[in-house]
Chains A and B, each alone.
Chain A
């Protein structure tokens, strides 16, 4: 039982990173029906920006709160700028054309981000400062919980809460939801569609960057290829929860994190993907719209 709970703690921590990236997939998909394959790589970019600030610029020596604020805020802004660049340069000319062409472009952007990162930061594994947050923790019964885990999960929850508040509570959020239902009708109501799409890309990138920095803090090691697996898991999470659905992406992320932790713990790391995808396929066969998804009209 204690072991089980221990895996649960690990799973929830990792799952909250997945959930953040999955939210990015879901927001972008909800609005332009594009699977933005570069989402995981945006996380990687965020992680490296954070690393540059903390290690190369030496901000790790500042007081911890200031260092953390810098290490989160600036990568989030930087990654958002990158994502807007991708949108404007690569996706926008294709938005009204073939979805398959955008998909290939997205795969191309993923490749481009990885190789640019390799060029800038090198192919080697880089390390986050290991003692940024206190490594110690405490026991709840038999379960060991570290402060890092608590801090990261709380930070993810705050970000998700912020997103929900934004989408549900602001005019821009309402416009986003309107756009998800019908582009033309939204445009006729005077919504600036391009602006809303930009906001979606900004939000997606910021969440991805935050999760990247968190991954860096949690796992310490980062590499330019880390975005691939992360993106894959997050995409799976988004689909599992019902792509286009915000609570679905969060639940999907946590679920995937848990599945991964249990499989690694009880079975073996090599079967992780088999279990994750197996569960996904089973869920989709039983409920073709994902756990929380509603029917959406096809566009492809």
Chain B
């Protein structure tokens, strides 16, 4: 009994300590851990152990950089050694030719590699990931060969006699010194990586990795973010390269081969892609294992290969995978009464609308009020080969109404949505929203104009938590800059907190607050649809397009959905609905458009559409006996 009590007390003390540790700022934790590791190695390790540790630190820096590109943004990069090389050569040339101090060369090396990232990234942004693999591989080889053939940089002999780093005239020249410098740089790399990870940029990257199309459609500018990923990844590589140059003292092109790129990739996949502690662990294994295997002498690479394959088979997710599930995602946020939440959402939404209307009017456009035409689709034609999916369709959606589009499968409904949201460009026709044309805009711009959407087949970011999914939907409303995210400034922190708070409100709006910490895939089908709705609403759109939101729902869930749709309209958001469930459509809609084979065959109030002979024919064919079916529904 007493023992149990004591046990529990110890358990609680441990939990408190853990909690306190967990709540201290990340940078202080990184410094604490690295200081302990550093002290242990420096005091106990001989030169050999320390030099291996220096290599581990170098690989960890590289891993952190590649992790941004591959782990977060999901862009397969097989030529990462190029950035390492550019960083190393920049730093080495500045030190040997211009006699700069090592620490002064680091910012320039980082700048250069960031630029190289942009140069590689820009033309290749639209490539598929497998193609990206070979292009990046080619980039790596081209960089290496260029250095190999570049006389000024020593050609194949490379650069010799790179000075040691020095601080205030003290030369740092022992392995222990290098290790301390390496750990300091690693700490910086680690802290910045963590800040990015927990910023809107990090979420945007992961969203792109999970589903680029969906990310773009909820307002994430995917091309720009991918470019950022290359630039950031390059910068980390440059940091590692500069450190490598001064530490090794002599660099030549053979240090920057394809094999190195592969090893760094192994570091992050082995550790668990997207996981920061995983990168450290991966670096330790990739560098340390061959050292441990020295007793196998000639066969050590063979043993390494076998172990590598074995580890991938046993733990394909990596040794220390990143799990985005969170038991208490809103821990520490101010509690709000459920009644309060609706009130706050309404107030927030109205504030947003007022703000947007103000900007809209300031830009010389006329803002629409309730009852005005909000969305004007005129003569839209979309064609795939010989098939006219949408044939000269025109209709107008008024501000504040619930407008449904129905029709048999293959009628062109989703294609129409895709034309409106910028996924496809209509062959002909005009689409005006709030007085401005939408044709030719990229999907994320359409979102920022005030249109949200959901998808016919659910497209959530599967391996992100539910609340994160909604936070991605808030992306277009953020105002913080990348540098603020990297430094984790107070402004950025406030913005993040507000985002989290809002994501909670939207989840409680659709009744999912209790499931917010789960992974999106762990939810039931109906709940996933509701998350999609919350994600589409998060950016405070003027208009939402729901593509078959009731599909797969049971009758109770459908009734709840109807309630949600009405609540959305009550916020002042116009709703356009594609739906096959006739009872839902008939009960919730103000007006209904019917599309059949791409042609608009009816547009009227629900009751009138039900009676319309053309509609009945489209659904049932010409048989007179079946007339009742649509009516009945």
8 Å CB contact of B134 from A104, A239, A285:
A239
Q: Which of A2-10, A109-117, A215-223 forms part of the interface with chain B? A: A109-117
What 0/1 readout, one digit per residue, does chain B (140-155) give for beta carbons within 8 Å of chain A?
Answer: 0110011011000000
Q: Which of B125-133, B222-230, B241-249 forms part of the interface with chain A? A: B125-133
Q: Does B53 sit at the interface, judged by CB under 8 A?
A: no
Q: Does B262 sit at the interface, judged by CB under 8 A?
A: yes
B519, chain A: closest CB distance, angstroms: 15
8 Å CB contact of B130 from A29, A105, A273:
A29
Q: How far is the CA of A100 from the CA of B316 in the complex (A)?
A: 9
B78, chain A: closest CB distance, angstroms: 9
8 Å CB contact of A243 from B131, B258, B302:
B131
Q: Does B5 sit at the interface, judged by CB under 8 A?
A: no
8 Å CB contact of A274 from B135, B145, B273, B317:
B145
Q: A residues within 8 A CB of B317?
A: 98, 101
CB distance A300 to B129 under 8 Å?
yes
Q: Does A277 sit at the interface, judged by CB under 8 A?
A: yes
Q: How far is the CA of A102 from the CA of B316 in the complex (A)?
A: 8
Q: Of A35, A94, A112, A243, which is in contact with the most chain B CB atoms at under 10 Å from its CB?
A: A112
Interface positions, chain A 54-105, Cβ under 8 Å from B, are 90, 93-94, 97-98, 100-105
B316, chain A: closest CB distance, angstroms: 4
Assuming A278-B142, A298-B129, is B135 touching A111 (CB within 8 A)?
A: no
Interface positions, chain A 189-229, Cβ under 8 Å from B, are none
Interface positions, chain B 577-604, Cβ under 8 Å from A, are none
Using CB atoms, name the residue of chain A closest to B273.
Answer: A100
Q: Does A144 sit at the interface, judged by CB under 8 A?
A: no
Q: Which of B34-42, B264-272, B333-341, B499-507 forms part of the interface with chain A? A: B264-272
Q: Does A167 sit at the interface, judged by CB under 8 A?
A: no
Q: Which of B18-26, B105-113, B303-311, B564-572 forms part of the interface with chain A? A: B303-311
CB distance A270 to B145 under 8 Å?
yes
8 Å CB contact of B309 from A105, A271, A273, A278:
A105
CB distance B138 to A236 under 8 Å?
yes
Q: B residues within 8 A CB of A270?
A: 145, 148-149
Q: Does A15 sit at the interface, judged by CB under 8 A?
A: no
Assuming A35-B130, A112-B302, A300-B130, is B124 touching A285 (CB within 8 A)?
A: yes
B70, chain A: closest CB distance, angstroms: 8
Using CB atoms, name the residue of chain A closest to B127.
Answer: A288
CB distance A109 to B309 under 8 Å?
yes
CB distance B74 to A104 under 8 Å?
no
CB distance A280 to B138 under 8 Å?
yes
A244, chain B: closest CB distance, angstroms: 9
Q: How far is the CA of A292 from the CA of B329 in the complex (A)?
A: 48
B59, chain A: closest CB distance, angstroms: 15
Assuming A33-B130, A273-B142, A284-B127, is B299 touching A119 (CB within 8 A)?
A: yes
Q: Does A46 sit at the interface, judged by CB under 8 A?
A: no
Q: How far is the CA of A281 from the CA of B146 in the complex (A)?
A: 16
Q: Does B301 sit at the interface, judged by CB under 8 A?
A: yes
8 Å CB contact of A107 from B134, B212, B266, B301:
B266
CB distance B128 to A288 under 8 Å?
yes
CB distance B146 to A274 under 8 Å?
yes
Q: Does B313 sit at the interface, judged by CB under 8 A?
A: yes
What 0/1 readout, one digit per residue, does chain A (270-296) give for beta carbons within 8 Å of chain B?
Answer: 110110111011001100111000001
CB distance B312 to A288 under 8 Å?
no
Q: How far is the CA of A300 from the CA of B309 in the complex (A)?
A: 20
Using CB atoms, name the residue of chain A closest to B269.
Answer: A104
Q: Does B139 sit at the interface, judged by CB under 8 A?
A: yes
Q: B residues within 8 A CB of A161?
A: none
Q: Does A235 sit at the interface, judged by CB under 8 A?
A: yes
Q: Does B193 sit at the interface, judged by CB under 8 A?
A: no
Assuming A90-B309, A104-B308, A273-B141, is B128 touching A115 (CB within 8 A)?
A: no
What 0/1 readout, one digit per residue, does chain A (229-252) give for beta carbons within 8 Å of chain B?
Answer: 000100110010001000000000
Q: Does B386 sit at the interface, judged by CB under 8 A?
A: no
Q: Does B123 sit at the interface, judged by CB under 8 A?
A: yes
B9, chain A: closest CB distance, angstroms: 43
B125, chain A: closest CB distance, angstroms: 10
Q: B residues within 8 A CB of A298?
A: 128-129, 212
Q: How far is the CA of A86 from the CA of B306 in the complex (A)?
A: 12
Using CB atoms, name the residue of chain B closest to A93.
Answer: B313
Assuming A101-B269, A270-B145, A270-B148, is B126 touching A288 (CB within 8 A)?
A: yes
Using CB atoms, name the residue of chain B closest to A110.
Answer: B305
Assuming A33-B130, A243-B131, A284-B135, is B142 touching A101 (CB within 8 A)?
A: no
What 0/1 readout, one digit per residue, does chain B (113-129) give for beta carbons within 8 Å of chain A?
Answer: 00000000001101111
Q: B residues within 8 A CB of A119?
A: 298-299, 302
Q: How far is the CA of A98 from the CA of B580 in the complex (A)?
A: 35
A264, chain B: closest CB distance, angstroms: 14
CB distance B306 to A112 under 8 Å?
yes
Q: B residues within 8 A CB of A108?
A: 305, 308-309, 312
CB distance A111 to B142 under 8 Å?
no
Q: How far is the CA of A288 from the CA of B258 in the complex (A)?
A: 23
Q: Does B76 sit at the interface, judged by CB under 8 A?
A: yes
Q: How far is the CA of A288 from the CA of B126 in the complex (A)?
A: 7
Q: A residues within 8 A CB of B266?
A: 104, 107
CB distance B74 to A300 under 8 Å?
yes
Q: A residues within 8 A CB of B308?
A: 104-105, 108, 111
Using CB atoms, name the residue of chain B closest to A109.
Answer: B309
B73, chain A: closest CB distance, angstroms: 12
CB distance B131 to A239 under 8 Å?
yes
Using CB atoms, name the residue of chain B closest to A295.
Answer: B128
Assuming A35-B130, A288-B127, is B301 touching A111 (CB within 8 A)?
A: yes
CB distance A98 to B316 under 8 Å?
yes
Q: Which 6 A-B pairs have the closest CB atoms?
A: A277-B138, A115-B302, A101-B316, A112-B305, A111-B305, A108-B308
Chain A residues at the B interface, C-beta cutoff of 8 Å:
29, 33, 35, 90, 93-94, 97-98, 100-105, 107-109, 111-112, 115-116, 118-119, 232, 235-236, 239, 243, 270-271, 273-274, 276-278, 280-281, 284-285, 288-290, 296, 298, 300
- The 26 sampled A-B contact pairs (Cβ below 8 Å) are A35-B133, A90-B313, A93-B313, A94-B316, A97-B316, A98-B316, A101-B317, A103-B269, A104-B266, A104-B270, A105-B308, A105-B313, A107-B262, A111-B301, A111-B302, A112-B306, A115-B302, A236-B134, A239-B130, A273-B138, A280-B138, A281-B135, A284-B124, A284-B127, A298-B129, A300-B74
Known: A107-B265, A236-B134. 19 other contacts (CB 8 A): A33-B130, A35-B130, A101-B269, A102-B312, A103-B76, A103-B269, A104-B308, A104-B312, A105-B313, A112-B309, A119-B299, A243-B131, A270-B145, A273-B138, A274-B141, A289-B128, A290-B131, A298-B128, A298-B212
